[in-house]
Structure 1
Amino acid sequence: MVQDAEIAGGAVATDTGLAPIPDESAEQEQPMESGDLTSISPDNPHKGEGAIDDDEEQALFNEAVTSAPVVIFSKTWCPFCTEIKKLLLTYNDNGETKVVVAIELDRQKNGHGLMNAVESVVGRRSVPQVFIGGEYFGGLRAVQHARDEGKLKSIIADAVEAFRKVVVDRDDPKPLDSAAHHAA
């Protein structure tokens, strides 16, 4: 079996012939299937009948990006998503805190709305998109670059520590110290 090899001209030689090199920055949306949104509204070209509204999209998005220290917006058919999940999901062997969560947009009932919200933050509809510590980090190249620079592990460790602090504060709210509150 011949291994895939990149050749000049932006193609990959495979054992079945030439194939174009996939462009990571290109949107990789699959055609809509029956049951998906069927009409586009003039207010938002990405929304159709039955789509959730902007406030609900934003609320779902905010909940998603704060659900774990590292959140990957992904699609099951995307090879770049598969690669980034292999790289990042190794960080889940960290004890009791689930460090990395992959949200498969093509398997979510509200995946189209979540993609709209991701696009409003990131500026594009391509996947994968990674959020670390609730903040946009980038796609596959950004994660690979941080790994290659030896920074990814500490970035994720900082996000895990901040996440644990938020969870502890949320689960065990401390009353205001009235003396400190009055002194302020």
Structure 2
Amino acid sequence: MVTDPDRPVVLFALEWCEFCWSVRKLFAAAGIEYRSVDLDSVAYQKDDLGGDLRAALLERLGVPTIPQIFVGGRHLGGATETFDAFNDGSLKALLTEHGVAFDPEMKKNAYSFLPNWLHPR
């Protein structure tokens, strides 16, 4: 799932998760195409495939949180790491390295996509 060169950006998410939606909003604003693997969606409920994938992510990464983002097979991290990488330019460099188009003019602080109930960082 994370090494498909035609879809190098992969978001492991939960449909109801506000942090996942924050990353989705950032990606939409920046024009970043991605594959979303919604672990709690109907498509991943059969035989608990979503649960199995989540367990595999925990085993591989050592972190239990969702979302988890990969670019070109490389683990970027969760929402915080993705926002930091966008803000410091390292995500843009990684996207460029893997031929992923994005809007270079989008300069908005990635943390502005977090839910309003969170305290600002």
Matched, 1:91 2:32: yes
Letter in 2 for 1:66: T
Match of 1:156 among 77, 95, 102: 95
Q: State whether residues 74 and 81 of structure 1, in contact with CA within 8 Å, keep that contact through their aligned partners in structure 2.
A: yes
TM-score between the two structures when normalised by the length of structure 1: 0.46
The SS at the match of 1:106 is: coil
SS in 2 for 1:124: coil
Tell me the CA shift for residue 119 of structure 1.
0.6
Cα distance between partner residues in 1 of 2:90 and 2:2:
21
Partner of 2:64: 125
* Structure 1 counterpart of 2:3: 66
Larger Rg: 1
Aligned AA (2:88): E
Identity of aligned residues (%): 32
Following superposition, the deviation at residue 124 of structure 1 comes to 2.1
Corresponding residue number in structure 1 for 2:75: 136
Amino acid at match of 2:91: L
User: Could you tell me how far apart the structure 2 residues matched to 1:111 and 1:125 are?
Assistant: 14
Provide the secondary structure at the position in 1 that maps to 2:10.
strand
Q: How many Å separate the matches in 2 of 1:123 and 1:66?
A: 19
Quote the residue 2:104 is aligned against: none
1:137-170 CA distances to partner (integer Å, 9 max, x unpaired)? 1011111111111222221121237xxxxxxxxx
| Alignment-mate amino acid for residue 12 of structure 2 | F
| Aligned residue among 79, 94, 99 for 2:18 | 79
Question: Which amino acid is the alignment partner of residue 51 of structure 2?
Answer: H
Counterpart-to-counterpart distance in 1, 2:2 and 2:89: 24
Measure, in 2, the Cα distance between the counterparts of 1:135 and 1:147.
Answer: 15
Identify the residue that residue 35 of structure 2 maps to in structure 1. 101
Per-residue Cα deviation, 1:114-155 (whole angstroms, up to 9, x for no partner): 101111111122100011111211011111111111222221
The 3-state SS of whatever aligns with 1:136 is: strand
TM-score by length of 2: 0.69
Question: Size of the alignment, in residue pairs?
Answer: 91
Contact 1:130 1:137 in 2 (8 A): yes
